[in-house]
Structure 1
Amino acid sequence: MSDQNANDGGQPRFGRPRSEPTEPAEPAEHVVLEEQIDLWRGYVQRRRAISAADVDEMEDHLRGQVSDLTASGLEDEEAFLVAVKRMGNLDEVSREFAREHSDRLWKQLVLVPEEPGDGGRWRELAVVLALAVGAGIVLKVLLAATVGNELVLVRNGVFAVLPFLAGYFVWKRHVPWRVSALLVAITTAFALVVNLYPFEPGEFDGAGMTEFLAITHTPVVLWLLLGVVYAGGAWRSGARRMDFVRFTGELIIYLALIALGGMLLIGLTFGTLSLVGVDFGPVFADWLLPFCLPGALLVGAWLVEAKKNVVENIAPVLTRVFTPLTIVMLVAIFVVLLVNGPLTDVDRDLLILMDAILVLVLFLLLYSISARDPLAPPGIFDWMQLALVGAALAVDAVALTAMLTRIAEFGFTANKVAALGLNLVLLVHLAWAAWLATGFVRGRRSFGAIEHWQTQYLPVYAIWASIVVITFGPIFAFA
């Protein structure tokens, strides 16, 4: 929803169109009311059965109710609460709209515009496809230039693709040129670091440990920089950051669906052509792969933007399915680690895998928070979220102890310090999230405090990843 202004040619996200006379600024006492209506509208817009025009009509009705109630002597906040109650339960409203306009649910899944103004979506799709072809050409050239040196391709693949996705959002969000220039400069600096540092070869397919860490941490930095573009440069806005978290989760879902469909089609093609003696492998590796990978990313991003209400309704279902399963997995890991002997005997690969699991838990936590109604009271699922964070904290504490024990016995290495730093960053994030969640389920804090903490902490991951990419090479002699 954060891109609404970019889609309507500058028309305000809420309120009246530009064509009407400019109204004076809201008095200070009405600012809170406008913020409450803003939150209410955002909540309504996430009901995919309710179109934008219907939301406008409902907002007008709500404002009329508030106006009548304030005229009768109620304060703004009291009038808003009473008016919302009179509007009825939004889930019931959604079901009623679904019954009245069931065709809309299907129209959202196809490219048929509902209104004449939506014709611009075809133009947007053309821009996305052009950028996907451009990314494919760059990747194809890079692939041809690095024959026999796959490490160079792995090192630079992210720089060949992500700038085109960023270009899509620069065009869509009308990002200021100063912000774009700064992000290009930062991206260029990271490209120079990754390619010009004199890394020593090693066991990771020819890459040493510090080079491997630089390659794996650079995409984290670039993805969070992409978040600045996605937010239209307004990265300080907690709502925009949460929009980016939601976008990331929905993009992962779309990419998974695209990948499953793509693998099915490619498998059928390989099988059919092999029966007639045609080797499809070279065509796939030389042409389809370089264009399909960036194409899937860009088309997936466009689908999230164009059809976000369709997938957004899947988010609560996914989080409710995987949260209890993840809790069981974390408890099992915790028990196994405790009964498996001295922590110094824990395998290094197991510690790395535990870090990956904790990152997965963090993604699940962030996406579930982004999909939750902030106005709803605490419920059983909030207690499950608290249990999830508690289990993750227990596993993180064991992993942290094991790493410190191994460092004390075997000394510092680049991978140990990187894993230790990530665990500390995760520990702080999860510990404070658990504290806030405890206050929320006990009725002592609002859900907004939890959401605010998640969005405010995101830059810490970019800072830590930047430290790993830029400083670990010189500190550990590029080994």
Structure 2
Amino acid sequence: MTDSTTSLETQVARWRDYVHRHRAIAPADVDEMEDHLRERVADLTATGLDDDEAFLVAVKRLGRLDAISREFAREHSERLWKQLVLVPDADDAGSSEARRELTVVLTLALGAGLAVKLGTTFWDESTLLRNAGLLVAPFLAGYLAWKRRLTWRTLGMLGAAFAVLGVVLNAYPFDPSGSTVVLAAVHAPVVPWALVGLAYVGGRWRSSDRRMDFVRFTGELAIYVALITLGSGVLVGLTFGLLGLVDVDLEPALEQWLIPFGVPGALIVAAWLVEAKQQVVENMAPVLTRVFTPLTTVMLAVSFTVLVAVGGLTTVDRGLLLLLDAVLILVLALLLYSISARDPLARPGLFDVLQLAMVVAALAVDTVALTAMLTRIAEFGASPNKVAALGLNLLLLVHLVRTGWLLAGFCRRRRGFGALETWQTAYLPVYAAWATLVVVAFPVVFGFA
């Protein structure tokens, strides 16, 4: 294979990966567009252009990819992209569509805020916590459904799922002082988020690529929400300080209006920003994962040392075990986001070895935590909390073992990166199924206690 052909294949792979990550394009469409691209390249090289020139001109001539190519140009401006692709829009159709989308976003944000406001007004704290996810998730799913142009059948299925969850959370005769009501409140948000994921993938939930796109969306959404929250906190703090100088107290307005409308509204607006400006945050993902992966590995090593030093596993504090579960979930979230941001064509390197070390450390911690849980159950008997924690840790163990095996094979160059990526997205629905089981079945099995 000549250097020219190698360069062309590299550029096509780079282009394909970029286009594939665009939220509105399905994998089958990417294949079709790549065929068109290669045909145009072949036609142009036949006229005397070299491969690089033909590739650049061919991308420009893919009319329906203008918007995507323009974003690609911004990231790869070291070449001739600016001259060939980065041109002004030909008409106002794009801006008109953007204004319409902004109107939809603001309307849904207002609706989510109103739902939370009504919930805080008419529900007690326990009921509000159980239904927190249901108050906001349908509006976020509604935006994604509008964005993806979902069919009425898919919309009906999502609406029915939200309705069933609402009936379960509010019709079950929970004991206000029992364990199952707390378990339902903790696990309930996972189910609405899974339904948001179904809206995001546009009904193509069997697609590993689309599920990984949702992982990227979740990570980028978290970053945007954090940025909006920090910025809003600074502005609110300054406003409070200034008005406090003239004896104006804004705390009642903050509690009664700003928080109920601002928090859910920020989530909807952040989702819109992810969809509109995803390439901005994608550049942050590799930096964040490279900073926190070694730090998390050290934290896991310290946690493992603490567990081993405790001695009798029946004496391990339940709060410590809950914190360890939170750490393990953080590890998997970090791993997922790191995998979603990685170039699948890149060779294994030092960072992949660091990730393997993190997974091994997480496995050690999870094994000790599982042993402690089983020992406590054997000593004191089963309870809803113990069974739920045990089930979650078993799911984490399976996830980590398979991930470690695939990651070790990739680091040793015995298997491709695709197997590791596919495993992550294929296992995610298991967590949603477990959360649904805890919310729906556990209260019945344990007598709503």
Common topology (TM > 0.5): yes
Residues 1:141 and 2:118 are matched in the alignment: yes
Matched, 1:463 2:433: yes
- Which residue of 118, 123, 127 corresponds with 2:94? 118
2:338 to 334, 359, 368: 368
- CA-atom RMSD in angstroms: 3.2
Within 2, Cα distance between the matches of 1:114 and 1:384? 48
**2:163 aligned residue:** 188
Q: By how many angstroms is 1:339 displaced?
A: 1.6
1:93 deviates by 8.2
Whole-angstrom CA distance in 2 between matches of 1:342 and 1:42: 55
Q: Contact 1:47–1:309 at 8 Å: present in 2 too?
A: no
Q: Distance in 2 between matches of 1:115 and 1:379?
A: 46
CA contact 1:379–1:441 (8 Å) conserved in 2: yes
Q: Which residue of 2 aligns with 1:127?
A: 104
- Helix, strand or coil at the partner of 1:96: coil
> Partner residue of 2:142?
167
1:262-273 map, 5 Å:
262-273=232-243
Matched residue, 1:96: 78
Per-residue deviation, residues 208-231 of structure 1 (Å, max 9, x unmatched):
210011111111011011111000
Is residue 192 of structure 2 the alignment partner of residue 222 of structure 1? yes
Query: How many corresponding residue pairs?
Result: 409
2:382 aligned partner, one-letter code: F
Q: Note if contact 2:187-2:438 (Cα within 8 Å) is conserved in structure 1.
A: yes
Q: Would you say the 8 A contact 2:150–2:202 is kept in 1? A: yes
**1:334 corresponding residue in structure 2:** 304
- Superposed displacement of residue 364, structure 1: 0.2
> What letter matches 2:145 in structure 1?
V
Deviation at 1:66, TM superposition (A): 5.8
1:283-322 to structure 2, matched below 5 A, reads 283-322=253-292
**Does the CA contact (< 8 Å) of 1:127 and 1:168 recur in 2?**
yes
Residue from 207, 217, 225 that aligns with 1:255? 225
* Residues 208-247 of structure 1 mapped to structure 2, 5 A cutoff: 208-247=178-217
Per-residue CA deviations over 1:368-425 (Å, capped at 9, x if unaligned) read: 0000011111111111111111111111111111111111111101111111000001
Q: What percentage of residue pairs aligned between the two structures are identical?
A: 55
Contact 2:130 2:188 in 1 (8 A): no
Match 1:410 to one of 380, 395, 412: 380
**Offset from partner CA, 1:172-230 (integer Å, 9 cap, x none):** 1011111111121111111111111111122xxxxx21001111111101101111100
Q: Distance in 1 between matches of 2:406 and 2:42?
A: 33
Deviation at 1:68, TM superposition (A): 8.6
> 1:7 aligns to what?
none
The 2-side partners of 1:159 and 1:468 are apart by 17
One-letter amino acid of the structure 2 residue matched with residue 43 of structure 1: D
Residue range with higher mean Cα deviation, 114-123 or 250-259 = 114-123
Gap runs ≥5 in structure 2: 1-8, 23-32, 60-71
Q: Is the 8 A contact 2:73 2:82 kept in 1?
A: no
SS at match of 1:350: helix
**In 2: Cα distance, 1:304 partner to 1:275 partner:** 38
Q: Which residue of 1 aligns with 2:130?
A: 155
CA shift, 1:42, in A, is 3.8
Shift of 1:43: 2.6
> Given residue 399 of structure 2, which amino acid in structure 1 is its aligned partner?
H
Letter in 2 for 1:118: G
Counterpart-to-counterpart distance in 1, 2:319 and 2:328: 14
**Matched position secondary structure for 1:396:** helix
Structure 1 residue 43 and structure 2 residue 17: aligned? yes
Conservation of the 8 A alpha-carbon contact between 1:128 and 1:298 = yes
* Counterpart-to-counterpart distance in 2, 1:114 and 1:347: 65
Render the CA deviation track for 1:64-97: whole Å, top value 9, x for unaligned: 5567999xxxxxxxx9xxx99xx9xx99982505
2:28 equivalent in structure 1: none
**Aligned partner letter, 1:230:** Y
| TM-superposition CA deviations, 1:272-299 (whole Å, max 9, x none) | 2222111101111111111101110000
Contact 1:46–1:309 (CA under 8 A) maintained in structure 2: no
Query: Given the superposition, is the C-alpha separation of residues 140 and 246 from structure 1 closer, same or farther in structure 2, using an over 3 Å criterion?
Result: same
Q: Pick closer, same or farther for the CA change 1:58–1:155 going to 2, 3 Å.
A: closer
Q: Distance in 2 between matches of 1:60 and 1:272?
A: 60
1:191 and 1:461 mapped to 2: Cα distance?
19
What is the alpha-carbon distance in structure 2 between the residues aligned to residue 467 and residue 115 of structure 1? Answer: 51
User: 1:118 Cα shift?
Assistant: 2.5
1:379 alignment counterpart: 349
Helix, strand or coil at the partner of 2:189: helix
Correspondence for 1:351: 321
Whole-Å separation in 2 of the counterparts to 1:92 and 1:443: 33
Return the offset for 1:98.
9.7
TM-score scaled by length of structure 1 = 0.79
CA separation of 1:46 and 1:258: change in aligned 2, threshold 3 A: farther
Give the AA of the match of 1:454.
Q
**2:396 counterpart residue number:** 426
Q: Does the aligned pair in 2 maintain the 1:165–1:298 contact within 8 Å?
A: yes
The separation in 2 between residues aligned to 1:36 and 1:228, in whole angstroms, is: 33
- Displacement after TM superposition at 1:114 (Å): 9.3
TM-score, normalised on structure 2? 0.84
Structure 1 residue ranges, 4+ long, deviating more than 4 angstroms after superposition: 35-39, 45-48, 57-70, 90-93, 97-101, 112-115
Q: Which runs of 5+ in 1 are unaligned?
A: 1-34, 49-56, 71-78, 203-207
Asked if structure 1 preserves the Cα contact closer than 8 Å seen for 2:132 and 2:189, the reply is no
- Measure, in 1, the Cα distance between the counterparts of 2:197 and 2:315: 40
Shift in CA distance, 235/267, structure 1 to aligned 2, threshold 3 Å: same
Query: Does residue 440 of structure 2 align to residue 477 of structure 1?
Result: no
Per-residue CA deviation, residues 336-372 of structure 1 (Å, 9 max, x unaligned), is 2112221111100000000000000000000000000
